[in-house]
Structure 1
């Protein structure tokens, strides 16, 4: 695809700029707006309506009014709508990839990968919509029957982050629609354009008015606050930082809301001495550099057995230093910009702090001068185990390497974190993998694989990384509630 300024302008002009409430695009109640910027240039891409608290409640009104009819809709109807949305996104894959490249910064080819990954949630949940099983069994004493069915939990608030603008929306909207829940989608203010285009697709696919509402806003609390205080909301699903997740859990407690929280990560990437080091480096590149490292599943700590640490680090640094930085629309770009200047400064502060504590810069460690918020892919060696960079989520293209001597040491270092989302283990010994997986405290483990996210798999973590799962058969369960019906023995009169 040739990406010209004219092509960019045409796409940006076609995207709705208003709020999607009750099936219609409208201005904010007070006329307020905000700008969306290109992190590769700092220039304004578009100006959107900024939802107010009044708009948030209008979206909840629409979702609440649509809930009863939508809950009773045929599963096949919901399935067909999701399948049509999947097909429409496939047809406009390049549009979605380009808009993500523009507003988030990732290289176009990588953005195309997100379209494939994110769109798969719509196809997966289109199939799960008609497979939401209950059960009908006899009580143990044989006197009565037990009927168990799953019902939609009700109107849901879906809050998505900026780093995967399409996948995070489809991962929440897909199961909500499949289960029969109405929804209010609040995209991140840094990358809302993808959700705006997604909303347009949902309308084309036949989503009824009020079933999915989209309220982009420069004030996250101005949207979540009033909605979560309203008793009509029954579910909140949030992907973002752990501190914000903790606050939302506190707010959710007042109305005893069903919650799904996909929060921070601090993924260990464990390389044992028997690993295929070339495959380990390949996996490390995928686990670290996907989305410029701006992913909750990104490898954050590289724990390498001391006997192979020097060789692994040398090969890894060589691979990282060969990557080409540039605006994502450039054909040869492999690493895009960091999302904004503040995030880039935070990354650099972690690097300089680690160096001050005794770490060595093997490659990178610098901001790029000029337009945009670029940071050189970085490898740090000899990182002390108590360094801040090993405790904090880096969210950037920086790989701190530390060593361990034994399997027990690796497990101890991996678990030395309040987070427990993704982890990666590289070894040729399957028994060792099973031992390690049994003992490390993480919701997901990659075995000789640097990318493990898949719509058919349950995504989620433990400890401070959150609650609940997205994707897989478990994903739709998060949007349902269980109802038990006790039935008197239907054979009583026949006996």
Structure 2
């Protein structure tokens, strides 16, 4: 039965791949790269090619910018109800095509099919949420303090946007940016990660089916980001940049954005602390840790990176977390029994192994390590380390892999100080049954988000984002739409 199910899934995947557009989407038309360049998309579970697609160069990127700029005026004046309807239909289409998109995500990114289905549902909810917001863009009207001027304030689209997404959530990250841009009335140039462009190309096709006019969304997959991003941003035609990725790249983009004073939204790196206090419900603690650590094989900016466990419960917590993590089945995400897929590529696999070796060299111990399948694929065994020292790379940088790094504490103020001792501030987690402590520690944490007795903070109706070097601005929630709007003020004398 299992072999038959996997065979059926692979047949379905072949059908889905055959329907994916492989060109650049510019002004509603599929086209090859101007220099005929192509890039091959691989399956990280076996290293085998999936599809060959057009690889955008500078000329293609500038053509996409011209298209977005040309359509901005007409798109901005589209009735909000029409924009809302497009988003609502897109959500419905994603719901109906959940399995096809899940297969595509699993094939090019690696996550197990069950997680990929969850990502499709999450992405659809962004479209649904922003469809509900599109008709509620409002302004204000009043008198100046001296009574001599009528003040009319409205909100209007910021203008053409450049959207750059990472590979770890190829559908959800696109939906989280495209949804509010459509709702606000902004045209877009969308550059997905070169490792996972197929989902984005399929999403653009779905949005066209939902009624999105030609030229509003332009998609340019490219492995040559350093050659195309700067020239696009320096045209002056793009008025906003929304980027999700590493802090290192974010800093570079911010410097380039300064040249034309572009509006920016930056969702950058994280180094999330996960604190388990002595009064924690350990069942809740372990379950939250599993979700916060193992979602997407640990390849998430919200992943629990540093686990601080009170000494009074450290032995019990570590034993149960180790049992759960090492018992997970690692393999190809298309296989029905798989719970943990591969990492995205060989470089990521090597980095995680180096992080583990560094921690062990500095005195950490292995509490447990799972198993990986033989053969090809960028797999990494779920690993639990204890006594991880503060100077370890594991405690200073994003792991982006299935490795739990545990250290112990006894003092609340000391653990809060340790949690805040990082240049990042995206999310933190704390597990406690004491409401006063939950509020006190939550307020003391230098993060944009806090999960209290949960390992999940992402929600389309809530503002997602960080402080310090984890980024600027927010995505999701009502404020997610504000990021794509500008205030416009008209002064009208009272006569």
Please point out which of 211, 214, 218 is paired with 2:219. 214
Q: Distance in 1 between matches of 2:228 and 2:191?
A: 8
Any idea what SS the aligned residue of 1:40 has?
Answer: coil
In 2, the alpha carbon distance for the partners of 1:116 and 1:138 equals 46
Q: 1-side partners of 2:36 and 2:399: how far apart?
A: 37
Contact 1:348/1:367, CA 8 A, preserved across alignment: no
Question: What is the deviation of 1:244?
Answer: 0.3
Offset at 1:438?
Answer: 1.2
* Other-structure match for 1:136: 141
More displaced stretch, 159-168 vs 147-156: 147-156
Q: Does the aligned pair in 1 maintain the 2:13–2:100 contact within 8 Å?
A: no
Q: Which residue matches 2:395?
A: 390
Please name the residue that 2:472 is paired with: 467
- Residue 260 of structure 1 corresponds to which residue in structure 2? 265
Q: Deviations over 1:68-92 (max 9, x none)?
A: 0111111111111111111111111
Q: How many angstroms apart in 1 are the aligned matches of 2:435 and 2:150?
A: 45
Deviation at 1:313, TM superposition (A): 0.8
List per-residue Cα deviations over 1:178-219 (Å, max 9, x = no partner): 101000000000000000100100111111111000000111
Pairing partner for 1:250 from 241, 255, 270 = 255
Contact kept, 8 Å, 1:368 with 1:375, in 2: the verdict is no
- C-alpha distance in 2, partners of 1:96/1:5? 13
After superposition, the C-alpha distances for 1:267-326 in whole angstroms (9 at most, x for unaligned) are: 000100011011100000000000000000000010111111111111111110111111
Shift of 1:365: 7.6
The residue that corresponds to 2:360 in the other structure is 355
* In structure 1, C-alpha distance between the alignment counterparts of 2:370 and 2:147, rounded to whole Å: 70
Q: Confirm whether residue 307 of structure 1 aligns to residue 312 of structure 2.
A: yes
The alpha carbon displacement at 1:138 in A equals 2.6
Q: Which residue of 379, 382, 403 corresponds with 1:374?
A: 379
CA distance in 1, matches of 2:387, 2:79: 59
Q: 1:26: which partner in 2?
A: 31
Q: Tell me the residue number matched to 2:230.
A: 225
Q: What is the CA–CA distance in structure 2 between the aligned matches of 1:36 and 1:322, rounded to whole Å?
A: 31
Task: Indicate conservation of the 8 Å contact 2:330/2:371, yes or no.
Answer: no
Aligned pairs for 1:329-344 within 5 A: 329-344=334-349
Residues 390-427 of structure 1: CA distance to partner in whole angstroms, max 9, x if unpaired?
A: 00100000010011111101110100111000111100
Q: CA deviation at 1:125?
A: 0.7
SS in 1 for 2:136: coil
Secondary structure of the residue aligned to 2:414 is helix
* Residue pairs, 1:166-185, within 5 angstroms: 166-185=171-190
Cα deviation for residue 24 of structure 1 reads: 1.1
Q: Are the aligned partners of 1:351 and 1:365 in contact in 2 as well (CA < 8 Å)?
A: no
> Aligned with 1:373: secondary structure?
coil
1:8-50 deviation digits (Å, cap 9, x = unpaired): 2111111000011001111111111010000000000000011
CA-CA distance at 1:483 after TM superposition: 1.0
Q: Does the Cα contact within 8 Å between 2:170 and 2:196 map onto a contact in 1?
A: yes
Q: Partner of 2:106 in structure 1?
A: 101
Q: CA RMSD in A?
A: 1.2
Q: How does 1:273-292 map to 2 (within 5 A)?
A: 273-292=278-297
SS in 1 for 2:218: strand
> Which residue, out of 448, 454, 470, partners 1:449?
454
Quote the residue 2:13 is aligned against.
Answer: 8
- Secondary structure of the residue aligned to 1:370 is coil
Cα deviation, 1:212-252, whole Å, max 9, x if unaligned, reads 00000111122212101101111111000000000000000
In structure 1, list runs of 5 or more residues that go unmatched: none
Question: Which residue of 2 is the match for residue 145 of structure 1?
Answer: 150
- 1:366 and 1:147 map into 2 onto residues whose CA distance is 64
Kindly provide the CA deviation profile for residues 345-403 of structure 1, in whole angstroms up to 9, marking residues without a partner as x: 00010001000000001111887642101111111001112222100100000010011
Match of 1:420 in 2: 425
Contact 1:368 1:376 in 2 (8 A): no
Whole-Å separation in 2 of the counterparts to 1:416 and 1:410: 10
1:288–1:298: 8 Å Cα contact kept in structure 2? yes
SS at the partner of 1:401? strand
Contact 2:166 2:244 in 1 (8 A): yes
Of 319-328 and 216-225, more deviation after overlay is shown by 216-225
Q: Which whole-Å CA distance do the structure 2 matches of 1:400 and 1:320 have between them? A: 12
Q: Distance in 1 between matches of 2:317 and 2:493?
A: 67
SS of corresponding position for 2:273: strand
Residue by residue, what CA displacement relative to the aligned partner does 1:446-487 show, whole Å, maximum 9, x if unpaired?
010111101000000000101000000010111111111222
Mark the CA change 1:13 to 1:442 in structure 2 (over 3 Å): closer, same or farther: same
Q: Number of matched residues? A: 490
Q: Normalization by structure 1: what TM-score?
A: 0.97
Which of 155, 159, 164 is equivalent to 2:160?
155
